[in-house]
Chain A
Amino acid sequence: MTDKPTMIEFRDVHKYYGDYHALRGISATIRAGEFFSLLGPSGCGKTTLLRTIAGFEGISSGAVLIDSKDMADVPANKRPTNMVFQSYAIFPHMSVAENVGFGLRRDPRSKADKAKAVEEALEMVGLKGYGTRAAHALSGGQRQRVALARALILKPKVLLLDEPLSALDKKMREHMQVELIKLQRQVGITFVLVTHDQEEALVMSDRIAVMFEGEIAQLADPETLYRRPATRKVADFIGTMNFIPCTVLSESDSGCEVEAKGLGRVHLDPGQCPPLRGGADPVVGLRPETLTLVYPGQTTTERTTPGVIDEVIYFGDMTYYDVYIGGTDIEVRLSMRNVPGRPILEVGAKVDVAWSPTALVLFR
């Protein structure tokens, strides 16, 4: 993975809209053949960044390189990128085949060859035989596939996807996530996806850039992002994280010692103490699934903390418990899988919460 060549490179990219600083010094590389996601809340600049790759937005300073070529003077219609738009942008006055074949208008191939290419593209997205249909008569999922086929028929170096699944219902969205991953592996093209849905980004991407306020807060693979978020903001945006106030007792090359409220004294490895400092009071973060309830009669080799259940939220396959630890100062959320023989506990029950020091991350 790491030795794959660079496909897109951002060099200190800034973008201003009047006084508004939309992109604040983006530097990153996207590798060839990678499924890369730009993740962040609305207004964080992720779509703007995507549009600078496509060429729909100019940049105020810095450089965007695609395949080692500076794109400064290359207009959108000459770039080796194609885009799947949030609204799909299916041409309503054309048939499905006309939509998919639109990009081949300037292609010198014969009519028959182009028709074949269109049919192949439709087959690839699972719409074989839909060519003669009117584009406006398609369902949301089908439009999405047409938009994909239309963008991929030109065999771009990079496929840009602007929130492509946000208009679909949950079932369809989950289905299309898997389809997109498969499609990306099949065609081997670099995919750059913009999304505000952290789950979607985690499921689909090889690497994710988390953006806040025009800056990349962290760029990492999904697992690192989830297990070792670089900042409290990233940790808060991705999944659920319990934050417990703590004091840092000592710090050395072998890690740091912290005293966390309700948990006591804990040693953290260097990987658990990200170097970034936000200036806020230090906290340790713990994911709900790294905490477990110790049922009466059970034993655990992990460290435990006594607590009282404050809230029980039933999810079918899971139950979420909000538990006070260390008096009523600190409440943590933990999730337990509902398996046979594991009763759902009641509010007010006194329990032991088991946790592992290796699951902690320090933020300061």
Chain B
Amino acid sequence: MTKSPSLKAYAIGYLIFLYAPIALLPIFAFNDSRIIAFPLSGFTTNWFVEMWGDVQMWNALKNSLTIATTTAILSTTLGIFAARASTRYRFPAKGGIMGLIMLPLVLPEMIVAMSLLVVLLAVGVPLSIFTVILGHTLICTPFAVAILTSAFQSLDQSLEEAAYDLGESPASTFRLIILPLVMPGIISSLLICFTISLDEFIIAYFLAGADTVLSSYIYSQFRFPAKVPAMLALGTVLVLVSVVLLTIAEYFRRRGIAKTGGKDTGGFL
């Protein structure tokens, strides 16, 4: 089959659209000018130094990391319970219950954020990073359930029975057999939930109250042109951290597959 040149052009155009803006991030982060425009005026690391000295940024980063880590752990734990229940047990209204758990996946975040805000204010819960964790866990849990359900589904039930048959208790069977075999799924889930929470803007903006998180902090800094280069420096660091994290996760995923002799089905999603 001959490849159509227009398809090729489309594919290249698509990739440029997708990645060129990200590639511009480090270019301007190292550019010696407060104005974001070509031509470039020279190399500098000043913006990184400025970013590093930004106390508010560190505070927002600390809050965001706390939120993302807690959300990832909470959502994944809830996801393990739900995935285990949906793949192993039969219970009344299972389809409906699982549907309701997965619904936030397609629910506009705006609605989630607004309704949570109204309820929290009515109940009198002070807005803080704690309320953001609540909202993020709500939207991340469906992702965790989706990832973990497929991990639990690929688990042969007779593996559990075999361990039980060989004298293990249900608890030790879970620890020795089930947990190691669904571990790649758990790591994927933690990673995805962490990333979603870290990125998330609307809920964080609505529910953080006086606390600042990274996404809303960065957005607020773009109002001051002088602060933009430092934010680009921060963005560059974040891109780098993401790449490193994904590489590590992919490494563990492939090692898990090689160890259990499974077939590689592509990305860890």
Contacts and interface: CB of A to CB of B under 8 A. Distances in A.
A83 B156 contact: no
B interface, by DSSP: helix, strand, loop or mixed? helix
Chain B's interface size range is 10 to 19
A91 interface: yes
B2 interface: no
Given A56-B161, A92-B181, A93-B180, A136 B260 contact: yes
In terms of DSSP, what is the predominant structure of the interface of chain A? mixed
Contacts of A91: 159, 162-163, 177
B87 to A, nearest CB: 16
A76 B165 contact: yes
A136 B261 contact: yes
A142 B261 CA distance: 15
Contacts of B163: 91, 102
Interface in B141-167: 156, 158-159, 161-167
Interface residues of A, number: 26
Interface in A143-182: 150-151, 154
Nearest to B169: A77
B259 interface: yes
A109 interface: no
Contact of B167 (A103, A136, A137): A103
A150 B158 contact: no
B54 interface: no
A93 B167 contact: no
A54 B167 contact: no
B167 to A, nearest CB: 5
Contacts of A76: 161, 164-165
> Which of A78, A93, A150, A154: most chain B Cβ within 10 A?
A93
A150 B180 CA distance: 20
A86 B162 CA distance: 11
Nearest to B180: A93
25 contacts: A56-B165, A76-B161, A77-B165, A83-B165, A85-B158, A85-B162, A87-B158, A89-B159, A91-B159, A92-B181, A92-B259, A92-B260, A93-B260, A102-B166, A103-B167, A105-B168, A134-B259, A135-B261, A136-B260, A136-B261, A136-B262, A137-B261, A150-B166, A151-B165, A154-B167
Interface of A: 54, 56, 76-78, 81-83, 85-87, 89, 91-93, 102-103, 105-106, 134-137, 150-151, 154
For the complex of A and B, list the 6 residue pairs with the smallest distance between their C-beta atoms, beginning with the closest: A136-B261, A103-B166, A89-B162, A92-B260, A89-B158, A85-B158
Interface of B: 156, 158-159, 161-169, 177, 180-181, 259-262
